[in-house]
Amino acid sequence: MKKFILFSFIALSFWCCDRKTSNSLTAVPLEETTKDFRTFFEKFHTDSLYQLQHLSDPVTGIPAMVQDESLLDGSYVWPRDEWTIHKPFNNIGDEYERTYIVSNKNLITETIRHKVSNFAMERRFVKENGEWYLSYYAGMNMLN
């Protein structure tokens, strides 16, 4: 019995360690995110009312093409009454690279980066009470 308990403990330790390495933050294509996120993501970009209903309160981030360095800390609050509806991404000319980082089952970060220049934008989506919301948006800016 002691050998069985010891073996079980060792097996569980390896399983836990393996799970930690498999949860590393690597970029994946949209197709490899969860089905509920993909469904949300499509509706978010095709239904403006749905999009407005799925903005966190507040949505923080960084304005596009920011000049004021004090706005680079990510604490800028996007005014809800001035929100510009986000449309589906169109990679005309294959100039941009889009990736998704699945941090956990409740947080997905999307990054769109220009392949040649040093410009990118980022959006973070969180799942709260079974629903996905846009919680963070950094408009297109020069990367450091």
Q: pTM score, two decimals?
A: 0.79
What is the pLDDT, as a whole number, of residue 25?
Answer: 78
What is each CA distance from 37 to 54, 110, 115, in whole angstroms? Answer: 12, 12, 26
What is the pLDDT, as a whole number, of residue 27?
Answer: 84
* Matching CATH number, 26-142, of 1.10.260, 3.10.450, 3.30.450, 3.30.70: 3.10.450
What is the pLDDT, as a whole number, of residue 24?
Answer: 63
What is the pLDDT, as a whole number, of residue 22?
Answer: 44
Tell me how far apart the alpha carbons of residues 96 and 119 are, in angstroms, rounded to a whole number. 10
Tell me how far apart the alpha carbons of residues 47 and 99 are, in angstroms, rounded to a whole number. 23
Are residues 120 and 141 in contact, defined by beta-carbon separation less than 8 angstroms?
Answer: yes
Are residues 126 and 37 in contact, defined by beta-carbon separation less than 8 angstroms?
Answer: no
Q: Residue 68: phi, psi to the nearest 5?
A: -85, 110
pLDDT in tens, the chain (144 residues): 433 333 333 333 333 444 334 446 788 888 888 899 999 999 999 999 999 999 999 999 999 999 888 888 899 999 999 999 999 988 878 899 999 999 999 999 999 999 999 899 999 999 999 999 999 999 999 876
Quickly list DSSP for 79-102.
-GGGPPPPPPP--GGG-EEEEEEE
Specify the DSSP element, H or E, that contains 4: helix 2-22
Tell me how far apart the alpha carbons of residues 21 and 1 are, in angstroms, rounded to a whole number. 31
**Domain map of the chain by residue range?**
26-142
